[in-house]
C-alpha cells in the first residue's frame, strides 16, 4: 500500500494524541521582499493551516505582530484568507499581540473574530507616503545633475528637483485612494461594530486594545493558548505553522545584510505604505 493511501486510512487524530489547533505566526513588516510578511511566503503555511483546521477543530488562529507595511501585500493576504475560509468552512480568529496596526490590522480584519490584549497597539487605519528633497543641497555644493526622460511625468517626485504642484496633487490623490480602500475593507469586515466611531478610528491614529474594543475594532481579549483551551478543550495545544526557512550561505555569513538594508530603504522611499 502506498504511503499516501495509508495516510488516508488513518484517522485525522489518534485517540491518545492531543487536540491540535493550527496557529499561523505573522511577525514583522509587511513587504514584498524576502523575509517579510507577504503572500509568497505565507500562501503555503496558510494553506497547510486551513487543511489541518478543516480535518480538526475547524479553528485557525492568526497570531499577528506587525506595525504594517505594503497595502498590496496586506490586501493579497486578506483576500487569500477569506477565500480559504469560504472553501474550508474554518473559523479564523486573529489574536493581536504587542501590535496589530495599519497593515497588521488590515490582515486581522480578514478573520471572523479579532482578539487582543488590553495593552496591545491596535488601529492606525491610515496611509503614509513621502520622501526627501535634496535639490537645495546639491545646488549648494555646485553639483549639476543631468537626466533625460521621455514622458511629462516620468520624473515625478524626483528628490533632486523642486516639488511640482501637480506632483503634490497626484500624491494626495494616491494616498486618499489607498486610505478609502482601507476604510472600505474595515467597514465590510467590522460592520455595525464600528458604527458611530468612524471619526475616531479612520483618522490614522492608533490606540490600546481596551479602547479598540470600545470602538468596535476588536471583539474581546485573549491570548493564543487561553483561546485554544477555551474553544478546543483544556488538552488542546497550538500547532505553530510558518514559512520554511531557506538556507543561504550568504545569510549565514552575514553578507546579505547590505542587500536587505537597500531593500528596506527602497520600500521606504517608493510608494505609499500602511504604517
- What pLDDT, on the 0 to 100 scale, is given for residue 266? 47
- What pLDDT, on the 0 to 100 scale, is given for residue 156? 84
- Among 70, 74, 102, 120, the active-site one is 102
Give the β-pairing of 91-101 and 121-123. parallel
Q: What percent of the chain has pLDDT over 70?
A: 83
Question: What tens digit of pLDDT does each residue of 112-128 get?
Answer: 999 999 999 999 999 88
SS3 sequence of 128-192: ECCCCCCHHHHHHCCCCCCCCCCCCCCCCCCCCCCCCHHHHHHHHHHHHHHHHHHHHHHHHHHHH
- 17-127+191-269 has CATH 3.40.50.300 classification: no
Residue 136 has pLDDT above 70, yes or no: yes
Of the ranges 123-132, 139-148, 244-253, which is most confident?
123-132
Question: What tens digit of pLDDT does each residue of 159-208 get?
Answer: 877 788 887 888 888 899 999 999 999 999 999 999 999 999 999 999 99
**265 to 155, 179, 269: CA distances (angstroms):** 19, 23, 6
Q: What span, in angstroms and rounded, lies between the C-alpha atoms of 215 and 34? A: 35
Q: What span, in angstroms and rounded, lies between the C-alpha atoms of 84 and 68? A: 22
* Catalytic residue status for 244: no
Helices 165-190 and 71-88: crossing angle, nearest 10°? 20
- What pLDDT, on the 0 to 100 scale, is given for residue 269? 47
Question: What tens digit of pLDDT does each residue of 219-251 get?
Answer: 999 999 999 999 999 999 999 999 987 655 545
Mean pLDDT of 81-85: 98
Q: What is the mean pLDDT of the chain?
A: 86
pLDDT band at 6 (very low <50, low <70, confident <90, very high): low
Helices 71-88 and 39-54: crossing angle, nearest 10°? 20
Q: Which of 196, 149, 21 is nearest to 92 (CA)?
A: 21
Question: What tens digit of pLDDT does each residue of 31-58 get?
Answer: 999 999 999 999 999 999 999 999 999 9
- What pLDDT, on the 0 to 100 scale, is given for residue 212? 97
Q: Is residue 101 a contact partner of residue 124, using CB atoms and an 8 Å limit?
A: yes
Q: What span, in angstroms and rounded, lies between the C-alpha atoms of 201 and 217? A: 8
Q: What is the 3-state composition of the chain as percent helix, strand, coil, each rounded to the nearest 5?
A: 45, 20, 40
- What pLDDT, on the 0 to 100 scale, is given for residue 17? 66
| E strands, the chain, in order | 20-27, 59-66, 91-101, 113-116, 121-123, 206-208, 220-221, 237-241
Q: What percent of the chain has pLDDT over 90?
A: 63
What are the sequence ranges of the domains in the chain?
17-127+191-269
Q: Is residue 47 a contact partner of residue 84, using CB atoms and an 8 Å limit?
A: yes
Among all chains, which residue has been given the C-alpha cell 505565507? 42
- What pLDDT, on the 0 to 100 scale, is given for residue 104? 97
Question: What tens digit of pLDDT does each residue of 55-67 get?
Answer: 999 999 999 999 9
Angle at 250 (CA atoms; ends 245, 253), nearest 5 degrees: 105
* Catalytic residue status for 154: yes
Q: Which residues contact 253 (CB under 8 A, 6 or more apart)?
A: none
Q: What span, in angstroms and rounded, lies between the C-alpha atoms of 55 and 183? A: 34
| Strand, helix or coil for residue 205 | coil
- Among 17, 55, 118, 154, the active-site one is 154
Amino acid at each position: 500500500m502506498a504511503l499516501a493511501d495509508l495516510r488516508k486510512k488513518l484517522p485525522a487524530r489518534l485517540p491518545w494524541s492531543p487536540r491540535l489547533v493550527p496557529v499561523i505566526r505573522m511577525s514583522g513588516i509587511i513587504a514584498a521582499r524576502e523575509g517579510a510578511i507577504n503572500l509568497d511566503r505565507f500562501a503555503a503555511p496558510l494553506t497547510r493551516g486551513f487543511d489541518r483546521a478543516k480535518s480538526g477543530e475547524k479553528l485557525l488562529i492568526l497570531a499577528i505582530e506587525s506595525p504594517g507595511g505594503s497595502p498590496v501585500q496586506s490586501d493579497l493576504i486578506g483576500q487569500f484568507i477569506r477565500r480559504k475560509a469560504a472553501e474550508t468552512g474554518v473559523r479564523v480568529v486573529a489574536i493581536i499581540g504587542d501590535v496589530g496596526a495599519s497593515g497588521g490590522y488590515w490582515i486581522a480584519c480578514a478573520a471572523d473574530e479579532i482578539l487582543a490584549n488590553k495593552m496591545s497597539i491596535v488601529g492606525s487605519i491610515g496611509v503614509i507616503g513621502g520622501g526627501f528633497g535634496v535639490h537645495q543641497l546639491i545646488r549648494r555644493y555646485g553639483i549639476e545633475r543631468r537626466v533625460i526622460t521621455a514622458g511629462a511625468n516620468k520624473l515625478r517626485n524626483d528628490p533632486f528637483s523642486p516639488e511640482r504642484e501637480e506632483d503634490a496633487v497626484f500624491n494626495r490623490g494616491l494616498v486618499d485612494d489607498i486610505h478609502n480602500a482601507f476604510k472600505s475593507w474595515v467597514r465590510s469586515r467590522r460592520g455595525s461594530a464600528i458604527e458611530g466611531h468612524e471619526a475616531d478610528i479612520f483618522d490614522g491614529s492608533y490606540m490600546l486594545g481596551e479602547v479598540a474594543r470600545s470602538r468596535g475594532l476588536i471583539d474581546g481579549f485573549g491570548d493564543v493558548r487561553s483561546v485554544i483551551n477555551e474553544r478546543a478543550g483544556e488538552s488542546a495545544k497550538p500547532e505553530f505553522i510558518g514559512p520554511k526557512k531557506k538556507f543561504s550561505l550568504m545569510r549565514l555569513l552575514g553578507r546579505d545584510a547590505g542587500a536587505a538594508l537597500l531593500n528596506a530603504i527602497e520600500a521606504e522611499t517608493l510608494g505609499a505604505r500602511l504604517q
